[in-house]
Amino acid sequence: MTERLSHTSTLWRWSGNSGGSWHFLTIDGEAGEALSGTALMRRMEKSLAGFGSLKVTATIGDSTFRTSLFPSKELGWLLPVKASVRKAEGIGEGDAVEVVLEV
């Protein structure tokens, strides 16, 4: 069964110690709670991915891509948004971005 969720969040950048940076959307609120429920079910089924991540298909604008959501105790779920998607959709740090997730 595929779950479909829509969420709008602000794109933010995390910089690592090595000088690299990654861009994320935080999935929280009702969508985050639904994802946590899905993760719990998968944990019980022993089908949860590494690090407690959830494999998803994400759509931002006209860009659809496969990735994993990563749990964060402080923030909810983190969706990495790679440069090719940001460029194709003309989005950058601080922009409100709507994403549709299929879990």
Q: How far is CA 4 from the centre of its chain?
A: 13
Domain 4-102 fold is Elongation Factor Tu (Ef-tu); domain 3 (2.40.30)
Per-residue model confidence as pLDDT tens digits over 30-78: 999 999 888 888 776 665 555 678 999 999 999 999 999 999 989 999 9
H or E element: which one contains 45? helix 29-45
Local structure of 22: helix, strand or coil: strand
Q: Where in the chain are the domains?
A: 4-102
- pLDDT given at position 100: 98
How far apart (Å, rounded) are the C-alpha atoms in residues 2 and 14? 30
How far apart (Å, rounded) are the C-alpha atoms in residues 9 and 29? 10
Round the average pLDDT of the chain to a whole number and report it: 90
Q: Return the closest-CA partner of residue 11 out of 84, 100, 81.
A: 81
- pLDDT given at position 50: 59
- The pTM for the full model equals 0.88
11: how many CB neighbours lie within 10 A of its CB? 21
In one letter, which amino acid is 99?
A: V
- pLDDT given at position 49: 59
Residue with more model confidence, 15 or 1: 15
